[in-house]
Amino acid sequence: MTSPAKLDPIAAARTGLAVGPALARTFLRATGKDARDYLHRMCTQDVLRLAPGQSAYAAVLNAKGHLLGEGHLLVEPDAVLLEVDPAAGAEVRAHLEKFVIMDEVTFEDVSGALRVLPVLGPEAASRVGARAPRLIPTDRRGAAGVDAWVAPAEADALRDALLAEGAAALSAGDLEVLRVLGGVARFGADLDSTRLPMEAGLTRAAISFSKGCYVGQEVVLRATARGHLQRGLVQLSLPAGAGPGTPLAAGGQEVGVVTSAVDAPEGRIGLGYVRRAHWKEGERLAAGGGEAVVRRVIVEDGLAGAAGI
């Protein structure tokens, strides 16, 4: 059997064991007797069903259903930790604090005390084990794995230990290739406050349809019940030179834009938003003097039986 270290990093992340660099993220720590209930009402996930030690992927929306941020939250015995992209951190915190009126909840930015160490591969969780008590299962990296939330010094030590045990080393660029190949939208690239979670294919991953009310719920329910989104995220095969910001056109008319692009083993691959009429695998679009082809449709439009997701 080929050891993970002898595989290229992308292959190791999928079939062996691979570890990325420690990533700086925004961490907000919510404390107070109403912390869980308040976050339950302010995000798209069912926080109240989570026992201490359990985590979930969630989104924070404004009243129009647009994304302010997305990431994982972890329930602890005396707090809830919410992790989001640094590009979203300030706006998410301001939004959460804005609506605290009678609730007993306080938010503290503890970003300096924690790093995210991505560990990918079928046995990632068991190989990390108790060395990272805050271990978050995730499929948001384009390969099965876990995110270890650890102190900066501990992140470096754990990474070194896993590399010594045969894990392949992933660079930040490798993580980006895996993400794009997995069709995973990233805040600051494919996600911002103009996007609805459904447009980016976050419905199944981030939204609970069995919980009570939350900010932005009306828009989400209407969109999932009726469908008819006008734009949505797709994965694309791209021509050389096409990158974020490259217009996508059909019949001489602009119908979308590239938001992410990487050079992968399969060629130049990207993500982008296109109009509804072009949500078809194999659809050909003009892109930067070349041709882009839709590889996969990621947008989730009008999901039947959304309440059962």
Residue 107 region, left (φ>0) first, then alpha (ψ -120 to 50), else beta? beta
Place of tokens 């930015």: 109
Residue 249 region, left (φ>0) first, then alpha (ψ -120 to 50), else beta? beta
- β-bridge pairing 67-76 and 79-84: antiparallel
pLDDT (tens digit per residue) in 169-193? 999 999 999 999 999 999 999 999 9
List 4's β-bridge partners, or say none.
none
Angle between helices 86-98 and 35-42 (to 10 degrees): 110
| pLDDT for the residue 224 | 80
Q: What's the rounded Cα separation, in Å, for the pair 149 and 29?
A: 13
For 202-205, which contacts have Cβ atoms below 8 Å and span 24 or more sequence positions?
Answer: 202/59, 202/67, 202/70, 202/300, 203/300, 203/303, 203/306, 203/309, 204/300, 204/303, 204/309, 205/57, 205/139, 205/140
pLDDT (tens digit per residue) in 74-99? 999 999 999 999 999 999 999 999 99
Q: What is the pTM of this model?
A: 0.93
| pLDDT for the residue 3 | 46
Q: What's the rounded Cα separation, in Å, for the pair 200 and 232?
A: 6
- Cα diameter, the chain: 59
Residue 205 per-residue DSSP state: H
Run of H or E including 203: helix 203-206
| pLDDT for the residue 116 | 98
Using alpha carbons, list the distances in angstroms from residue 18 to 3, 151, 248, 265, 294.
11, 20, 35, 17, 29
Low-confidence ranges of the chain (pLDDT < 70): 1-6, 303-309
Q: What's the rounded Cα separation, in Å, for the pair 208 and 167?
A: 35
| pLDDT for the residue 223 | 81
